[in-house]
Each structure stands twice: as C-alpha cells, then as structure tokens.
Chain A
C-alpha cells in the first residue's frame, strides 16, 4: 500500500472523506427542504393549478431559473460576502453549505416540479370530489403519488452535490476535492489525485445504489 501510494496520509484521507460526506449529506437535507418548497410553489401557483397565482409563480420560477443558470464556481464567489457574514470565514465544510444548498436546491426544485406535473390530474380531481383539503391533496396525493420520481430526482441531485463539494474544495472547503487539489495536484503527487478520484466514484456509486433500491421499492405503478 505504502509503495503504491507513497504520499498519502491515511488519517488525512479519512478526514477528507468524512468532510465530503458531511457536506453532501447536510447540503442534501437543506436541498430537500428548500427544493421541495420551491417545486411545490412553482407547481401549485402555475396556471390552472390549486393556488394559481401569477406573482408567486413568476418569483419562484424566476428564482429557480436564475440560480440554475449561474455556474457553481461563480455562485461560490458571488455569495462569499454572505458566507463570511454568517460564519466569519469562507473556509471549511460548514461555510460551504450555503453555496451548496443554493446551488442545488433550484435544480432539485425543478425536478420536484416536473415530478408533480406527472401526477395524474384525474387523481387530484377525485380527491377534490371526496372533499379533501388542499393540504391533504399536497401531502397525501401530490407528494405520495410522485414519490419515486422525487427519490430518483434526489439521487441525481445528491450526485451533482458530490461534484459541487469537490468544486468548493478548490477554494478550501475541505473534503476530497480540496485534498486532491492542494495535496495532490499542486504538489504533483498524482497518487493522491487517483485515490481521491476512486473514493469519489465509490461514494457516487453508493448513493446511486441506495437511490435505485428505494425508488424500486416504492414504485407500485
């Protein structure tokens, strides 16, 4: 092992992997919440839907479109002042969270909206005919019926997020991207870059696997 990867400090690598997982998972939770809210708002306020409202629709859809258009690396620089205001620094995994969430929530929000649009209109109609409240329709019909699409959307988002954490690593967020860039690439210790790559690919596969299993299990169509 030591011969194959002469420059690797295994404790550092373990720490970096932990940081990557920490950033991915915490940002994923934030993305899930913010993205679901955004997706629901766009869907519900769209013309012909339950909360039809032009202003809300334009604001939420505009927000999503603008933030999806900004490349992630630029988004990091853009919200740097906010990050510093919140955490006193822009370094470290926690300080990377606002950028990660803001970068992936609009993406997930759009996936949520698409998933909700796929819900059969007749089923919503049937729930209305039974006298269901809007909240019942949201939680027991819309979100339940679109669950497989929501989960597979979240899987895709999680994998994009892992990529984002590596980008954030290049400005010192920590994690495997950071480790590969500062300890590997800048010192030309390519063995570090290879190991980090392998680990990231492995993490991505695990997320994909978990997502696929859950999607398959809940899809009763």
Chain B
C-alpha cells in the first residue's frame, strides 16, 4: 500500500510562490491501477515525481509498504528507487544503447552480474513483445516499441510500484491501446501497483480501478472508476467524463427522437458492471418471439465491466415483450420502458 499524507510542493520563482501540489493525501492499494487525471498544469507530473523524490517535497510524507520514502538518506533513496519503476511520455531511452543495452542499464546500476543481466534482459524482452529487436537502436523503433523498451527497463529490477507519467500521450490511439493492454497484463501477471497520470479520460476508463481528479494541485474528486463515471460530482470531472461518453445533451435530443417511434416498445437498457453484455441481445432474439432494433447506444468497457446505456425498439406480442424484459432484468442489466406505440 502507498500512503501519501499532506504532501505539498511549492516552487519558488523570483517573486511569487507556486503551489504545484497542495496538501494532497491519498492511499493506493497494493496491486491496483490507480489513475490521476487533470488538465495540463494541474500538478500531476510534480505529484508523481514526488513519489520517487525526483522532486523534493516541501512538506508531507510518502510511504510505500510501510517505508517512509521522504525520510530516506540519499544512498538509501538510490537503492529504494531501484524498486520503483518509472516510464515517461517521451520514453527517455539512451539512444547510444541498443534495446537490450537499454534494458540492461538499470540492472547495471543495481550491480547485477553479467550472466544474470543476460538472462533477465531476455525475459523482459519476451514479456514486452520485442523479441527479435534486441540489437536495434531506439531510432530504429516506432513510438509503441520505444515505450515497450521503457516498460521493460522499468520492470528490470522487479519493482513493486510502476509510475507512469503520461505514458501513452505521445502515441496514436491504436498504439495507446496496445500499451494499455500491456500495462494491464503486467499488473495482473506481476501483481504490480501502477500509478498513472494522464489528461485522457479514456485511458482511465480502460485500465484503472480507482481514479483521482486533480485540479490546481489538489484532488477534487476520487473513487472507484465506475462510480466516478456514473456519478461525477465536480464540473471538471463531468467534463472529463464527457470526453468519453459525449455530452448528456446528445442523449436528450435522441430521447425526443425515440418518442416519435410509433411501433412497439422503446426500451432503455442500463449497464453497470455488466460482464456478459454481448450475449444478452442475442439471447433475447433467440429465445423470445420479438424483433429487436437497436436505436442508439453508448457503452464503454472498464476494468470492472461495461457500463452505459442502450436504446432498443422491441416489437412483437405483448406477452413476449414482457417475458423478454423479465429475462433481461434477471441479469444485472436494468430495463426501463421509455415509450410504447
């Protein structure tokens, strides 16, 4: 577990002081993927850099698995940092070293023997899917491959925590997804705690368990990702949710459209933590004597399953429609009749 208590960082420039991180307290469970989202300048990078003390805190403490990081002397901090992996937006690879030499670097720092480095580097290259690229230089790799090297390098000394500073912000959407999938994979395989910061809500939606929303150095809202998505409280959080769900207004106009449908029932299915959603519609179509027409839907996958809503037009015998609705209710999906013609 990581416990952050009343952490502050004040940058003093010539005349004024800037509170980049302001009295921030937080606890992060072992093995979870914890996201911090905020707009540029919110203090996210400063916050994550305080965790491994790339930035020295002005006040407050950071504790990782019972050990106080903020109290460590220089030498102990260096050793401790070997247990905290970090990846960066711009990868920060050494261009003068090959893929395998880059991954070997943290092992050299930790004083690992040559023979062990060789074995470990190959393990890591296979883990991140770069087999065959061992002798390439970073300049010969794509962005996604560079980040894979960054991840392998960060994992080399078997850290307990992985810090990700905008790790996918320089990548195209497809590559982003593959890197996110890799992060989930190592989180599950290695039980690694991942703290990632981003300004992109879909990153949070896809892989995080818990999320904190940061604004002007403070955390203004936090909680389970699904909870924050379904019930955002603060305006800034609502804006981030809109990034992936679209504006609620869009749905309103569609509601009007739905009311004009004259035939059959218009149903709204609400998914929360639904893990078998694909099957439901086909099950209904197969087993009940109804016709289904999908009007519109907005469903997102999160770590805990799908959530969102789906509007259906269902036509058929009244009793068949009733039965179909009953079946849907027997799953975790909620059904609501919006209109019937």
Q: Which residues of A contact B (CB under 8 A)?
A: 120, 122-123, 125-133, 136, 140-141, 144-145, 147, 218, 220-221
Contact = CB atoms under 8 A, between A and B. Distances in A.
Summarize B's interface: helix, strand, loop or mixed: mixed
Given A125-B54, A126-B86, A221-B139, A131 B110 contact: yes
Given A125-B54, A136-B109, A221-B139, A131 B79 contact: yes
Nearest to B77: A131
B139 to A, nearest CB: 6
B82 interface: yes
Interface centre among A127, A130, A131, A145 (most CB of B within 10 A): A130
A120 B94 CA distance: 9
Contacts of B138: 220
A2 B84 CA distance: 75
Given A145-B94, A220-B95, A221-B139, A128 B106 contact: no
B78 interface: yes
Which of B88, B96, B153 has most A Cβ within 10 Å? Answer: B96
Nearest to B95: A221
A128 B139 CA distance: 22
A120 B138 CA distance: 14
Contact of A129 (B86, B94, B97, B108): B86
A129 B96 contact: no
Contacts of B90: 122
Given A220-B96, A220-B137, A132 B109 contact: yes
Contacts of B80: 131
A130 B95 contact: no
Interface in B93-115: 93-97, 105-106, 108-110
Nearest to B102: A126
Given A125-B54, A131-B78, A145 B84 contact: no
Given A131-B81, A145-B94, 14 more contacts: A120-B92, A122-B90, A125-B92, A126-B153, A127-B109, A128-B54, A128-B81, A129-B54, A129-B84, A130-B81, A133-B109, A136-B108, A220-B95, A221-B95
A140 B93 CA distance: 13
B52 interface: yes
A140 B110 CA distance: 14
Interface in B42-96: 52, 54, 77-82, 84, 86, 88, 90, 92-96
15 contacts: A123-B93, A126-B88, A127-B109, A129-B52, A129-B54, A129-B84, A129-B86, A130-B109, A130-B157, A131-B80, A131-B110, A133-B109, A141-B94, A218-B96, A220-B95
Contacts of A130: 81-82, 86, 105-106, 109, 153, 157
Nearest to A121: B92
A141 B139 CA distance: 17
Contacts of A221: 95, 139
A183 B105 CA distance: 58
A211 B105 CA distance: 28
Contacts of A122: 88, 90, 92
B222 to A, nearest CB: 25
Contacts of A123: 92-94
Contacts of B108: 136, 140
B56 to A, nearest CB: 12
Nearest to B156: A130
Contacts of B95: 145, 220-221
Given A129-B81, A131-B80, A220-B139, A145 B96 contact: yes
Contacts of A145: 94-96
A33 B137 CA distance: 29
A210 B156 CA distance: 38
Contacts of B82: 130-131
Interface string B101-133: 000011011100000000000000000000000
Nearest to A147: B96
A181 B94 CA distance: 50
A197 B84 CA distance: 61
A122 B139 CA distance: 16
